[in-house]
Amino acid sequence: MKNLISRFFLALGIVFMVGIMFSHEFRNELANAISPVLDPLSQALPFHIVVLILATFTALYSSVIQRYTVNFQRLKQIQKKVMEFQKEYMEAVKQQNQYKLKQLEEKRDEMQKMQSEMMSMQFKPMFYIGVVTIPIFMWLWLKVKDNLTEVVVPFTGKIHVGDPILVVPWWLFWYILCSITITQIIKKVFRIGI
């Protein structure tokens, strides 16, 4: 049963990612589906606080998902072995040591399997996290598109929440900044991935 639920959410995350890439209607429907839950929040609080709350929520559930889907001890072991292999390989190439290169070539398949396992460990949680994050992003995107909200930001003053900061819209920049900061705090406090 647990495996079936896991596969369902994994497939749902993939469907959401593919759907938002290729369908404008899908993005709108996803945003409208969670509007009844998030609209009251946006009516009660300033937009930048809503983004902060949603970023905090994202940081919490993504940390929990990573905690239970990634074997950090195994991930560190793989990273260490792969780095050691790459270092040995580069040294053998520099020294033109054909004997050592031949020995390392025999290990290459094992290293590629480990790298594949590492990629799987890192990408699998992304699809689970996407099940919640993608609808939130689509809702925020729709709100910004239909909204005339302005915020006061340092060094610039008043701007529309959709105006670009660096290369991304302000709301997305703020969301990412808050989410990364809160995720790091959560990981330190609960010792996730350490």
Tens of pLDDT, residues 78-103:
999 989 999 998 998 898 888 888 88
Per-residue pLDDT tens digits of the chain, which is 194 residues long: 778 888 898 899 999 999 999 998 999 999 999 999 999 998 999 988 999 999 999 999 999 998 888 888 998 999 999 899 999 989 988 988 888 888 888 888 888 999 899 888 888 898 899 999 999 999 999 988 877 678 777 677 888 888 888 889 989 999 999 999 999 999 899 888 75
Residues written for the chain: 194
- Domain ranges for the chain: 2-189
List 151's β-bridge partners, or say none: 159
Quote the pLDDT of residue 133: 94
